[in-house]
């Protein structure tokens, strides 16, 4: 568990906020949780693989550690760094994003109800609908959370948690975090924001009223597609007691090596996230102008229906590195596109330095019933791009070339009109309360 020492800084509005590290993001990314080795002077921390630590007498360990499931130097340093980047007092690392999800639900929602956006990761939806019920948890979903939340909370008095992904996965609709937090807190309900799609660089949900931030560290934070890991960040000491207890008691912790790798990746997050956003905006702009595209979802575009939320909520209004779009020619064209790219790799996951493409309806979201998927805008012709940090011009050329090859493969005739706007984002998902 990580506790950032208090320092005299200006007050922050968010309820429960503690003092934060006031240095710039890049400085915190490189410096936070990175002490020099007191014995050797090593600038980069060693990997502490030992599972157990010596004691001078019973109950008196030589240092801070007794058993690596309970705590480990590499995990502590990573947690400290992540807390700094999320402007949080505490952070906890887990063996995966779904492990973090499991701990949150067992600790905070057992025997109760949760309300969630419908546009979310397929694995989270599966956990809510198939696994959470073993802990007496029921879930309801909405495509317009900010608009529907008050009525849903009035109807379900047993609600213990509100869960949002913003941007949504995969249609990239945005939710006004502050508006949702205000309503949830009025009913005494906690708000969790899955910040995986943007990373701490582009968005800090705690600053907008969220109680807990969740990450699949596997994605942008690690950034190199070689670590499976999750994390939570928050400000409440009470939450820390509950969540850290289960982190240890259940044992769903990452290895020291994974923590070391993720901490190394985190140090370049600001550089990677900026480049990915720049590349994604160029690709989204090109897609929006293509006659082979039905609709583009990217919150960095002025045409995005929730662009105002992005400007208010994201660092410098960045759209992030994720883009989704509906291709002319239906599912057949979507599948052909993903087979026709030469730089983008057809694969699940996201947030790495390399560019990936997938068809959510057939891959990451295949387990969600078609009716539910399509209600959230996840149609068979939707393609999701995780835009990496390769050269912008090469990526744009690859996408446009694959579009044309897909059109040729399914026998499409040239379209008469170009796409206008980002038409497949779920209506009203970010409307303010």
Top-confidence residue, 42 or 376: 42
- Whether 7 has a pLDDT exceeding 50, the answer reads no
**What is the pLDDT at residue 8?**
32
- Whether 237 has a pLDDT exceeding 50, the answer reads yes
In this structure, the chain runs to a length of: 433
* Confidence tier at 413 by pLDDT (50, 70, 90): confident
Report whether the peptide linkage leading into residue 167 is cis, meaning its omega lies within 30 degrees of zero: yes
Among the residues of 4-96, which ranges form H helices?
Answer: 25-31, 73-85
**What is the pLDDT at residue 418?**
57
pTM of the full structure? 0.91
Q: What is the DSSP letter of 224?
A: S
- Cα–Cα distance for residue pair 423/214, rounded to 1 Å: 28
Q: Give Cα 172 distance to the centre of its chain.
A: 12
Closest CA to 330 of 294, 285, 290, 371: 294
DSSP for 314-340, please give it: SGGG---SEEEEEETTHHHHHHHHHHH
- Whether 105 has a pLDDT exceeding 80, the answer reads yes
What would the mean pLDDT of 234-245 be, rounded to a whole number?
97
**What is the pLDDT at residue 376?**
86
Among the residues of 267-391, which ranges form H helices?
Answer: 269-288, 307-313, 330-340, 370-375
Return the axis-axis angle of helices 392-409 and 269-288, rounded to nearest 10°: 40
Catalytic (active-site) positions: 69, 121, 194, 219
- Whether 12 has a pLDDT exceeding 50, the answer reads no
The b-or-e profile of 222-250 (16+ CB within 10 A means b, else e) is bbbbebbbbbbbbbbeebbeebbebbbeb
For the stretch 286-323, pLDDT in tens is: 999 999 999 999 999 999 999 999 999 999 999 999 99
For the stretch 142-195, pLDDT in tens is: 999 999 999 999 999 999 999 999 999 999 999 999 999 999 999 999 999 999
With tokens 């906890």, the residue in question is: 92
């Amino acid at each position: 568990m990580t506790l950032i020492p208090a320092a005299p800084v200006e007050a922050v509005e968010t309820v429960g906020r503690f003092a934060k590290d006031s240095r710039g993001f890049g400085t915190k990314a490189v410096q936070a949780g990175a002490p020099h080795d007191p014995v050797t002077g090593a600038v980069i921390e060693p990997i502490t693989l030992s599972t157990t630590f010596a004691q001078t007498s019973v109950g008196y360990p030589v240092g801070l550690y007794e058993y690596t499931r309970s705590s480990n130097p590499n995990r502590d340093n990573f947690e400290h760094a992540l807390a700094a980047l999320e402007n949080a007092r505490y952070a906890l690392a887990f063996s995966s994003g779904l492990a973090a999800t499991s701990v949150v639900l067992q600790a905070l929602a057992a025997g109760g109800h949760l309300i969630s956006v419908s546009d979310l990761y397929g694995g989270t939806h599966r956990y809510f609908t198939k696994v959470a019920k073993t802990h007496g948890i029921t879930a309801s979903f909405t495509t317009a959370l900010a608009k529907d939340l008050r009525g849903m909370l009035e109807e379900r008095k047993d609600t213990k948690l509100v869960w949002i992904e913003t941007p949504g996965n995969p249609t990239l609709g945005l939710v006004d975090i502050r508006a949702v937090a205000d309503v949830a807190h009025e009913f005494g309900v906690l708000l969790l924001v899955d910040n995986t799609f943007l990373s701490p660089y582009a968005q800090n949900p705690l600053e907008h009223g969220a109680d807990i931030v969740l990450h699949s560290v596997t994605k942008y934070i690690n950034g190199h597609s070689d670590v499976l890991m999750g994390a939570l960040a928050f400000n409440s000491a009470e939450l820390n007691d509950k969540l850290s207890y289960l982190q240890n008691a259940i044992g769903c912790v990452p290895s020291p090596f994974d923590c070391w790798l993720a901490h190394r990746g985190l140090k370049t997050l600001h550089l990677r996230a900026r480049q990915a956003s720049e590349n994604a905006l160029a690709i989204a702009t090109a897609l929006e102008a293509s006659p082979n595209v039905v609709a583009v979802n990217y919150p960095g575009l002025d045409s995005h229906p929730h662009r105002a939320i992005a400007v208010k909520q994201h660092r410098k209004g960045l759209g992030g590195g994720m883009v989704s779009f509906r291709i002319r020619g239906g599912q057949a064209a979507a599948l052909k596109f993903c087979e026709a790219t030469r730089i983008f790799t057809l694969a699940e996951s996201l947030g790495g330095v390399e560019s990936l493409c997938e068809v959510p309806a057939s891959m990451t979201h295949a387990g969600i019933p078609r009716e539910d998927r399509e209600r959230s805008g996840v149609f068979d012709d939707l393609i999701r791009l995780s835009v990496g940090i390769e050269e912008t011009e090469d990526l744009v050329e690859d996408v446009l070339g694959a579009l044309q090859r897909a059109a040729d493969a399914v026998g499409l005739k040239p379209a008469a009109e170009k796409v206008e706007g980002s038409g497949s984002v779920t209506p009203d998902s970010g409307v303010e309360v």
